Amino acid sequence: MPVAEFINASIKPFDSLDTLSPMEVAKLRKGTANNNLYHLFRLCSLAVLNTGSDVDNTGEVLEMYKDFDIQIELKHQGVMLTLVNAPVNAFVDGEIIVGIREHLFSVLRDLIYIGDELEKIENSQFASADITQYVFHILRHAKLLKPNVKPNLVVCWGGHSISRTEYDYSKKVGYELGLRGLNICTGCGPGAMKGPMKGATIAHAKQRITNGRYIGLTEPGIIAAESPNPIVNELVIFPDIEKRLEAFVRLGHAIVVFPGGAGTAEEILYMLGILLHPNNKDIPYPLIFSGPAGSEAYFEQIDAFIAATLGDAARDKYQIIVDDPQAVATAIQSKLQQVHSYRRDQGESFHFNWQLFIPRDFQEPFDPTHQAMASLNLHTNQQDYILAAQLRRAMSGIVAGNVKEPSVKAIQCHGPFILSGDAQLMDKMDQLLAAFVAQRRMKIDHEKYVPCYKISK
């Protein structure tokens, strides 16, 4: 485990959240009745300060910085954050890096806004449309919604544990997208989440684009394992992975998927399940899989798994482009013109895709306990989009078992998650996951990786 270095500091915001009520401040103070919210605040703040770390296990991060603390106070100048034993890499000559300061106050903004909803959101009491409204309100409160701007936001998905070749390729794609004036939205972490942003910043500079958008969407369960990279200039924390995923597809206009592991497979299955729903059959939504030469095996395995589980209807929803960043960017640019025409003709907003139908199976938070994982309906005798939702949950549970502290601890106590279902489907899943392990895509520290799952055939 790396040796951590510490620093103490007091931080004020530049121009946002300079005034809070005593009640709002009390919600996030240590030792109050709402102590769970304080712990989330501490976790997310530590993740922001720990950017650039090569540790992707939440428990290890918390152990490294077990003496870290954050206090929030109201001063006559406004809000003040006091950091105790914070990661030193967030500072230069004793001054916090500007982007990291912004991220800290984004965490504060979102946790205060969501408040008690983070502790328990009784989704069974909400209709599907209410959940979508909730996602909209979070995005609007964070000022991410930009009306009257032609579709130009490309969501980039991919793994945090990828090779240098794949990372460099994601930069090249981001560069080509940026040259065409397109903006980038990712999960905000390292690897394929950072590469496209880095490439786009260079392209935007060349094109003298000074208002480039590098949006990062995350959630408390994953943020410590995938700390926000410093390029992100608009960061939003969502209550759970399901609302984060919905925000991606509502906010974005096209998706490019780079190589990754179980988390990337989860994102692919989420998107395919939505596009397979009959209500969405006429809605254009560009979806491209891409990687450098040498990554063909990854996409062949993903494509074969989709064909065997969801069928050719799902395969028709995406395009695979290998080792050609310019072709990816020109294809996205062309397809965005279709998106623009469709939304204009339908009277749909450019800044939030209200028309896209997202079934409840994709909206309800999934808690990957051993019982929940064992109870997944991994059988082919159901509608393709429902099967996609079940497969998405299986991948979500594996991500949790790899990096999220509660699931890691549960597996240490009770052994790996058991997944069972149709023999042929489980065989395909076993092959796919084994390939992720062999290609070192499950975790950054791949040498010590022990599968958190077991396939029962």
**CATH code for the structural domain at 128-346:** 3.40.50.450
- Domain definitions of the chain by residue range: 6-120, 128-346, 360-456
Q: Would you tell me the crossing angle of helices 241-251 and 128-141 to the nearest 10 degrees?
A: 70
Fold of 6-120: MCP/YpsA-like (3.30.1850)
β 153-157/254-257 pair status: parallel
Residues comprising the chain, all counted? 457
| pLDDT value at residue 123 | 45
Per-residue pLDDT of the chain (457 residues), as tens digits, is 455 578 899 888 766 555 677 777 777 777 655 567 788 888 889 989 988 766 666 677 778 888 899 988 877 667 888 999 998 888 999 899 999 999 998 998 888 887 655 544 554 467 788 889 999 999 999 999 999 999 999 999 999 888 999 999 999 999 999 999 999 999 998 999 999 999 999 999 999 999 999 999 999 888 877 889 989 999 999 999 999 999 999 999 999 999 999 999 999 999 999 999 999 999 999 999 999 999 988 999 999 999 999 999 999 999 999 999 999 999 999 999 999 999 999 999 999 999 999 999 999 999 999 999 999 999 999 999 999 999 999 999 999 998 888 898 999 999 999 999 999 999 999 999 999 988 888 876 667 788 899 998 6
Q: Exposed (0-12), middle (13-18) or buried (19+): which is 414, by Cβ within 10 Å?
A: exposed
Q: Which two tokens stand for residue 150?
A: 């032609």
| pLDDT value at residue 247 | 98
Q: What is the pLDDT of residues 148-160, one digit of tens each?
A: 999 999 999 999 8
| pLDDT value at residue 57 | 67
| pLDDT value at residue 155 | 98
Q: Which of 242, 213, 345 is nearest to 284 (CA)?
A: 345
Residues 6+ apart with CB under 8 A from 213: 153, 183, 184, 185, 233, 234
pTM of the predicted structure, to 2 decimals: 0.91
| pLDDT value at residue 54 | 66
Beta bridge partners of 92: 95
Residues 6+ apart with CB under 8 A from 115: 27, 37
